[in-house]
Amino acid sequence: MKSKDEIRKSGRERMRKWRRLNHEKSLEANRKWRKENPEKMKKAKKRWDDNNKERIRITDKLWRDENREKVRITNKKASLKYHKNNPEVSRHAVRIRRFRKKNNEGYFTTKEWEDLKKEHNHTCLCCKKKEPKIKLVPDHVIPLSKSGNNYIQNIQPLCERCNSIKWSKIVSLVQLRELVKEEKI
């Protein structure tokens, strides 16, 4: 009499043999089962992924090493898409890099900048025009070139025009409004 293990083993052997002889039927049956049992497939894939993390990591690394150009192009496309969909975040990242390069002290987040704009009702503090009619940019009250820092307390929302008029001067908002009025005349 055969043991349970021998019976299972012989059954597995018969299945393997049948699959080799009926390869297309086997594939079609597998496709049909996967289509009819998506939840079971999802659980099985998760279980397999959890049990083979190292294998997946190595396989992925090998593929990336063999397909560096494809990976570079894919990453470039994803990066361009992200920057196109998130222009404010992208601009902020460029500013941070510039400030770090100049060894300036301080840092403010995109959320802090958005909160500051909201606090001032999305209005330029100088000319009193509102977004979206104008584009507000962070202006340093004490410019970085004059030993100012990059903390949010040293930032004020100005439109690009007023910010360029101010340039690198330490100017109170009253003085800045007068400068804008003089330029209009």
100-155 pLDDT per residue, tens: 777 778 888 889 999 999 988 999 988 889 988 999 998 888 888 787 888 888 88
What whole-number percentage of the chain has pLDDT above 90? 39
Sorting pLDDT into bands at 50, 70 and 90, what band is 37?
very high
CA distance 46 to 152: 45
Beta bridge partners of 139: 156
Domain ranges of the chain: 58-103, 108-184
Q: What is the third-level CATH fold of 108-184?
A: DNA Binding (I), subunit A (1.10.30)
**Mean pLDDT confidence for 6-27:** 87
pLDDT band at residue 185 under the 50/70/90 scheme = very low
> pLDDT tens for residues 157-177?
999 998 888 877 777 665 666
What distance in Å separates the CA atoms of residue 63 and residue 153, rounded to the nearest whole number? 48
Cα-Cα end-to-end distance for the chain? 109
Cβ–Cβ under 8 Å, residues 162 and 181? no
In terms of phi and psi (left: phi > 0; alpha: psi -120 to 50; beta: otherwise), the region of 69 is alpha
Mean pLDDT of 6-24: 86
Using alpha carbons, select from 168, 111, 158, 101 the residue that is nearest to residue 134. Answer: 158
The pLDDT assigned to 57 comes to 95
Stated pTM of the model? 0.49
